[in-house]
Amino acid sequence: MTVDVITQLDNRVIFPEEISIFNVAQHYDALCQLSLNQQSVIWDLQHTTTLDGAGVQLLIAYHQALLNNNRVVSTTFGSDAVIEAFDLFHFPLTITKKEAT
């Protein structure tokens, strides 16, 4: 499954394959358009295979905005790239690698 843009499914935010300096402005605009009325927000990062410093900064800013609006943020399984970036930048969310099936 190829995911090119940020999409929303109920309280789930599905992130694309690439979140990088080349498309972070596009993704910022997409995040601003989301209508998250639920208290709990789930980030689905399982399709994200490229996440650079600009992408991490976007996620940090979005995470802080959700917390400022009293939202609870959790994550689903993530790719190796996401786990590595979260570890490297000491991101305040825990994410686990999806088990191979």
Predicted confidence (pLDDT) per residue in 28-63, tens digit: 999 988 877 888 899 999 899 999 999 999 999 999
- Buried b vs exposed e over 52-80: b needs ≥16 C-beta within 10 Å? eebbbebbeebbeebeeeebebebeebbe
CB-based contact 17:3 (threshold 8 Å): yes
What count of other Cβ atoms lies within 10 Å of the Cβ of residue 26?
14
Residue 88 has pLDDT above 80, yes or no: yes
Residue 45 carries which side chain, given as an amino acid letter? L
> For the whole model, what pTM was predicted?
0.85
Q: How far apart are CA 60 and CA 43, in angstroms?
A: 12
